[in-house]
Chains A and B, each alone.
Chain A
Amino acid sequence: MVYRIGGRAIFDGLDITARRGRITAFMGPSGTGKTTLLRLITGQVRAERGSVKVFGEEVSTLSRKQLFALRQRMGMLFQNGALLTDIDVYENVAFPLRAHTKLPESLIRQLVLTKLHAVGLRGAARLTPAELSGGMARRVALARAIVMDPDILIYDEPFVGLDPISMGVICRLIQQMNEALGITSIVVSHDVQELAEIADDSFLLSQGKVVAKGTPEELSHSQLEEVRQFMGGLADGPVPFHYPAPDYRTQLLEETA
């Protein structure tokens, strides 16, 4: 698959598969287009060439109506939760149900409380999003993402900016959702430690291509320089520490002249 923005290739010849019922991790340094990949999978942007298939359907050829039907089978957890700020936690979780179903209020209540209980926030139902911590907001967003019982759950950087306890909670929840509900999970992140704990398959992306794939265990033993730099958190390597610049000495002398 090929995807370009303004002539610059974000992905060039990318070939990946996330298997049903498993947790697949897409890792890579910041700016490698991990979030763009999720936008391609969810049909928010379309690939220039090649194919993006979800449940066997070619995403880029779907009409708006078909795409919305497909999205009802997907749940997505955004980096910042993206909760609707003008309604409370309960209404946020109930939002997809109210938009897509005509369920009686009593059943909506049951479903919302069940999902909030699953993420440990049944007691926070009447709080507003502004009253939640970052970790709590993400858990509410997770409850909202699963309220329609999706087949695929997509997590965009679920661990960013969280304290270790919240990180552990989110990690456990991702695993639980996968095991208990049989959901296919796609996690985009650069937190190697957390992904190693939960991912069944991992893809390491760099400069628009898959540079390595396998289980987190296999990646940690890879001899490839790109993989070693990323997994080891080395400052310099194939991804250079310095942004491209003219010769240091020449530039300093030029500026004093």
Chain B
Amino acid sequence: MSAGVDSIPVAAIRRVGAVGVFLGQILARIPASLGKPSLLIAQIYNAGARSLVIVMMSGLFVGMVLGLQGFNLLQRFGSADQVGVAVALGLLKELGPVVTALLFAGRAGTSLTSEIGLMKATDQLTAMQMMAVDPVRYVVAPRFLGGFIALPLLAAMFSIVGLYGGQLIAVAQMGVDSGAYWSNMQNAVALRDVSEGVWKSVAFGLACSLVAVYEGFHAAPTAEGVGLATTRTVVVSSVLVLLIDFLLTAAFFTNS
């Protein structure tokens, strides 16, 4: 049966299966692609270092907003000193990983999809196969792994800059004591809270990188096909990030 006549649920299941098989192919080639560390380092640089400015700027603004909103709310209960805790928990558990993943999908994810899609459209992937070189090993696996490693690091940078953004508002503008801001944060934030954010960013890294390379590798080899694949990367990654976020938050909530 062709994909064209499948009902929507069947097509969705078929697609999930195809993505799963593709992930299996990538994982099987990762040990081999680690043999060429220069390829991996280049991809971590592409996906990570090149997204650093946008991620740090966003982290700063989100931290500042959290500082303002947290101060505004806590002041009503006479707990303005606790604003550091609000900023830290908001960033580490939720906004750091989620906003970073959404930014990653828009910046690095689209770049990965369009790059691989264009390589396909210009016969570069076929040329590799003709040179007896496996494109999944040389093109897809390093890019997938690069994104997977870069996203948690970016999320960490986002949260760190965000904490200083919160301090910039709460301490410098609103007059909260600097010691109270940091020490209350230190007392209230547990390792469990940090690890929740880390696990989320690892899961988002897997999802966003996989979607980006899958869409690029399976794009129709035309200008329109690459454009559509790039759009799908952003849409699918964003929805998937929010869905995974809910599932993981619920799981951590149940186990806490």
Interface pair A85/B131, CB less than 8 Å apart: no
A44 to B132, CA, bound (A): 11
How many chain A residues sit at the interface, stated as a range, is: 20 to 34
Interface pair B122/A44, CB less than 8 Å apart: no
A170 contacts B by Cβ under 8 Å: no
Contacts of B134 in A (CB 8 A): 68
Interface pair A100/B132, CB less than 8 Å apart: yes
Chain B residue at minimal CB-CB distance from A76: B130
Interface pair A68/B126, CB less than 8 Å apart: no
A76 to B124, CA, bound (A): 12
A74 to B115, CA, bound (A): 27
Interface pair A82/B124, CB less than 8 Å apart: yes
Interface pair B130/A42, CB less than 8 Å apart: yes
A141 to B127, CA, bound (A): 10
Contacts of B115 in A (CB 8 A): 86
Interface pair A78/B131, CB less than 8 Å apart: no
Contacts of B138 in A (CB 8 A): 99
Interface pair B123/A80, CB less than 8 Å apart: yes
A42 to B128, CA, bound (A): 13
Q: In the complex, which of the residues B118, B122, B131 contacts A80, with contact meaning CB atoms closer than 8 Å? A: B122
Chain B residue at minimal CB-CB distance from A73: B132
A95 to B127, CA, bound (A): 11
Q: Is the interface of B mostly helix, strand, loop or mixed?
A: helix
A69 to B134, CA, bound (A): 12
Interface pair B132/A68, CB less than 8 Å apart: yes
Interface pair A71/B131, CB less than 8 Å apart: yes
Interface pair A82/B133, CB less than 8 Å apart: no
B129 contacts A by Cβ under 8 Å: yes
A146 to chain B, nearest CB (A): 12
A207 contacts B by Cβ under 8 Å: no
Contacts of B132 in A (CB 8 A): 68-69, 71-72, 96, 99-100
A45 to chain B, nearest CB (A): 11
Interface centre among B124, B126, B127, B129 (most CB of A within 10 A): B127
A76 to B134, CA, bound (A): 16
Interface pair B127/A82, CB less than 8 Å apart: yes
Q: In the complex, which of the residues B119, B126, B133 contacts A78, with contact meaning CB atoms closer than 8 Å? A: B126
Can you list 29 A-B pairs, Cβ within 8 angstroms, ordered by A?
Answer: A44-B126, A44-B129, A44-B130, A68-B132, A68-B134, A71-B129, A71-B132, A76-B127, A76-B130, A78-B126, A78-B127, A79-B123, A80-B122, A80-B123, A82-B126, A83-B127, A84-B119, A84-B124, A84-B127, A86-B115, A95-B131, A95-B133, A96-B132, A96-B133, A99-B132, A99-B138, A100-B133, A141-B127, A144-B131
Tell me the B residues contacting A by CB distance below 8 Å: 115, 118-119, 122-124, 126-134, 138
A74-B130, A85-B122 given; name 12 further pairs at CB < 8 Å. A44-B126, A68-B132, A71-B130, A71-B132, A78-B126, A82-B122, A82-B123, A83-B127, A85-B118, A85-B124, A95-B131, A148-B131
Identify the 4 closest CB pairs spanning chains A and B, nearest first.
A82-B127, A82-B123, A68-B132, A71-B132
